[in-house]
Amino acid sequence: MRRGILSLLAVGAFAVSGTAACTANVSGSGRGDKPRIGVILPDSKSSARWETADRKYLAAAFKAAGVDYEIQNAQNDKSAFTTLAEQMITQGVDVLMIVNLDSGTGKAVLDKARNAGVATIDYDRLTLGGSARYYVSFDNTAVGTLQGQGLVRCLAEAKATRPVIAELNGSQTDNNSTLFKEGYDGVLGPRFASGEYVKGPDQWIEEWDNTRAGTTFEQMMTAQPNIGGVIAANDGVANAAINVLKKQGLNGRIPVTGQDATAQGLQNILNGDQCMTVYKDVRREAAAAAKLAIALAKGETGVTTTKVYDRVGKRDIDAILLEPKAITRANVRDVIEDGYVSADEVCTADFAAKCAAAGIK
């Protein structure tokens, strides 16, 4: 769809496939006049969601709209991320949607796209100082608030007195991690101040790496064996902490939070090893982002519902932010009835009885 001098500049600047691609791109032959959208997902290990949910629901929305699309995964490799973006720009995408691996790499890619006349969307993670036209995500501070409140509720149920709270935050280069932390620290901070809870170790988990999360938590437990509650920023990090607790026979006795309502997280909840997770219905996030992308690709303006302030770029960005939902054992069933995770994935042989007890069919 995108034609003329900007396409020519794009191909000229990233002459990957040479003159032939240049001609094809400018004339539109070979690609047809269908709008074309490129998406780059971050990795497939920091959370199951990117491959099991985001890819699936974005693809479904693009297919339904009949647009051309390409969804790639950078597999946590920043240079691969950049190369993928450059290839998409060169190939003439009308819209580029990214989940950045960090704001620096994200910004470089967004700026290249903008200079080539490609419309851009930050998907799930805001690129600080970036130039994306739109941002689609959940209310990430609210995610953190739900995690903090969930931990408070589980600690009350466990009748914990002056528990030492450990925090396993997400990757420091992910703006969402900062927002999650703002959310749960907002709940926990006053309890530390009053002496009801005791502030314990507090660390970022580089790249959301689950193995690092396990090692970090093991070190925390060694340094401070009386940890009584754990904020884990997502289900993968939570599972790493739960595995450490299992080795010490402490699983189920020390509440651990999570996020993403993954099958593994839901199983850990049914087992009583995980206190809660946060369900973000990625179908709605993907549908909202795809709708914006399709509008942009057709040269229309998108409809957004709010603005988000980028404190580094010092600008407001038009955004859509969706509401997250807290999940405990009492409502694991909601996620399954919603069709987000299937009963088959959660209710494997070992979990059949627990699923039945939780009303999951």
- Which residue type does 21 have? A
> Considering just the CA atoms, what is the radius of gyration of the chain in Å?
22
Note whether 125 binds ligand BGC by CB under 6 A. yes
Task: For ligand BGC, give the closer residue by CB, 7 or 140.
Answer: 140
- Minimum CB–partner distance for residue 28 and ligand BGC (Å): 36
Q: Residue 269: count other Cβ atoms within 10 Å of its Cβ.
A: 28
# binding residues, ligand BGC (CB under 6 A): 12
- Minimum CB–partner distance for residue 100 and ligand BGC (Å): 9
- The residue behind tokens 């946590």 is 76
Q: Which residues are paired to 73 by β-bridges?
A: 41
- The residue behind tokens 């038009």 is 318
Applying CB under 6 A, which of residues 7, 105, 120, 176 lies at the interface with ligand BGC?
176
Task: For ligand BGC, give the closer residue by CB, 54 or 94.
Answer: 54
Helix (H, G, I), strand (E, B) or coil at 228: strand
**Closest Cα to residue 138, out of 224, 260, 252?**
260
Note whether 54 binds ligand BGC by CB under 6 A. no
- Minimum CB–partner distance for residue 103 and ligand BGC (Å): 12
String marking each residue 295-324 x if it binds ligand BGC according to CB under 6 A? ------------------------------
Applying the rule CB under 6 A, the residues between 231 and 290 that interact with ligand BGC are 234, 259-260
- Minimum CB–partner distance for residue 91 and ligand BGC (Å): 27
Applying CB under 6 A, which of residues 49, 55, 283, 325 lies at the interface with ligand BGC?
49
Cα–Cα dist 212/194, whole Å: 32
- Minimum CB–partner distance for residue 262 and ligand BGC (Å): 9
* Distances, alpha carbon 213 to alpha carbons 178, 257, 285, 303, 348, in Å: 17, 14, 27, 39, 26
Task: For ligand BGC, give the closer residue by CB, 54 or 86.
Answer: 54
Q: Residue 308, Cα to own-chain centre: how many angstroms? A: 17
Q: Which residues are paired to 195 by β-bridges?
A: none
Helix (H) or strand (E) holding 106: helix 103-115
Task: For ligand BGC, give the closer residue by CB, 121 or 160.
Answer: 121
- Which residue type does 343 have? A
Applying CB under 6 A, which of residues 7, 25, 47, 127 lies at the interface with ligand BGC?
47
Note whether 55 binds ligand BGC by CB under 6 A. no
- Does residue 323 contact residue 142 with C-beta atoms inside 8 Å? yes
**Closest Cα to residue 90, out of 1, 2, 7, 3?**
7
String marking each residue 185-224 x if it binds ligand BGC according to CB under 6 A? -----------------------x----------------
Q: Which residues bind ligand BGC (CB under 6 A)?
A: 46-47, 49, 124-125, 170, 174, 176, 208, 234, 259-260
